[in-house]
Amino acid sequence: MNGYDAYNIYLAMRLHFSSDYDFFRYNGKSRSSENTFNKRKDKYSFHKLAREYNDQKLINLLAVLFCHKDSVYVGDMFGPSAETMLREDVEWKLSWKSNFLNDLEKVIDFAAAIKSVDGGYPDLLTLAFQKDISYNTLAILETNLGTLTAWNNKLSDDFIWESYYKKLKKYAPFVFYGVNAVDESASRLVLLEYLKTITLNKSTL
């Protein structure tokens, strides 16, 4: 990967998170020219990115940054903050099964925790806002249960939720893509087993 490649990845990711463009549908391709890239004052930053990351790792980094920020600039991809965010994301995914289940076990009643009562935030969402559970957990739940989509039908007039929803909805597919990706089929099985377990526990009370 060279600087121009890194620039194209950045453009594609920015479009994915800010428009109707779908990174996966278009295989990360965007309309740009090498001539335009060479005229950019920050082109050397992209060359530096290309030396520090391969394409998969850069995509992962940008996915996490765009999930947490309203806008991502070239400078945001450098420094300890970006490195820490990527490292923590990788570490979470390496032990995703235990981390996912640990997050779910932080609620007493899962069925109640995913419900919005009178337009209020579901308990599970509040925990995510407080960073007591991972955004990756919500992404897995959206993929398998459509929780974010269901919440959006209840909370669409809430501007805090609206911003959070747009970023996380766009981010969700990246949990299952790239370096250390979560196995989507396995996540579905883990969730089903968890739901069966809590249902069985309720029936024996």
Task: Please give the pLDDT value at position 52.
Answer: 93
Q: According to the model, what pLDDT value does residue 199 have?
A: 81
Helix (H, G, I), strand (E, B) or coil at 27: coil
Per-residue model confidence (pLDDT) at position 205: 46
Distance set, CA 122 to CA 89, 126, 162 (Å): 24, 6, 14
Read off the tokens for 90: 């990788």
Residue 135 CA to residue 127 CA, distance in Å, equals: 10
Residue 23, token pair as written in the block: 């990174």
Q: For residues 13 and 46, is the Cβ–Cβ distance under 8 A?
A: no
199, 94 contact by CB (below 8 A): no
- pLDDT digit string (tens) for the chain, length 205 residues: 999 999 999 999 999 999 999 999 999 988 888 999 999 999 999 999 999 999 999 999 999 999 999 999 999 999 899 999 999 999 999 999 999 999 999 999 999 999 998 889 999 999 999 999 999 999 999 999 999 999 999 997 888 999 999 999 999 999 999 878 999 999 999 999 999 988 876 655 4
Question: Each residue of 151-164: pLDDT tens digit?
Answer: 999 997 888 999 99
Ordered domains of the chain (ranges, CATH): 1-93 (1.10.8.60), 95-205 (1.10.220.50)
| pLDDT the model gives residue 204 | 55
CA trace torsion 83, 140, 176, 31 (10° rounding): -80
pLDDT score, position 43: 92
pLDDT tens sequence across 56-89 = 999 999 999 999 999 999 999 998 999 999 999 9
